[in-house]
Amino acid sequence: MEIFRKYTGRKFIAMVLGVLVGVAVAFGAKGELIATVAGTVTSAASLIYYIFTEGKLDLESLPQKKEEIKDEEEKKYPENDENL
């Protein structure tokens, strides 16, 4: 997961955009195309980073949530050994 974090960091994305813009300018691309590519890459990277970050946070909180649900169930349906 550490590798994923490296490739989704702001510095890495800025570097990729810089390379893409440089290559586009070298091949004679117009400013509108460069802005479109930069905006698309930035938006897609932000979305992907958000999805994976939220997934990781949800996964980390799962054991705590399971314990909370178990405690709530025990409160709703307490075990009473005297009635058995």
pLDDT tens track, the chain, 84 positions: 566 666 767 788 778 878 887 888 888 888 888 888 778 878 888 888 888 888 888 888 888 878 888 888 888 887 754 554
Which of 37, 36, 41, 55 has its CA nearest to residue 10?
Answer: 41
Has residue 84 been placed in a domain? no
pLDDT of the residue at 83: 52
11, part of any domain: yes
DSSP 33: H
Residue-level pLDDT at 68: 82
User: Is residue 59 situated within a structural domain?
Assistant: yes
pLDDT of residue 13: 77
Could you give the number of structural domains in the chain?
1
Residue 44 has a pLDDT of 84
Cα separation, 8 vs 74, in Å, equals 42
Residue 61 belongs to some domain of the structure: yes
Locus of tokens 């800025």: 14
- Domain interval for residue 62: 2-75
Please give the model's pTM, rounded to 2 decimal places.
Answer: 0.49
Task: Note whether residue 58 is domain-resident.
Answer: yes
| pLDDT of the residue at 48 | 83
Asked, for residue 80, whether it belongs to a domain, the answer is no
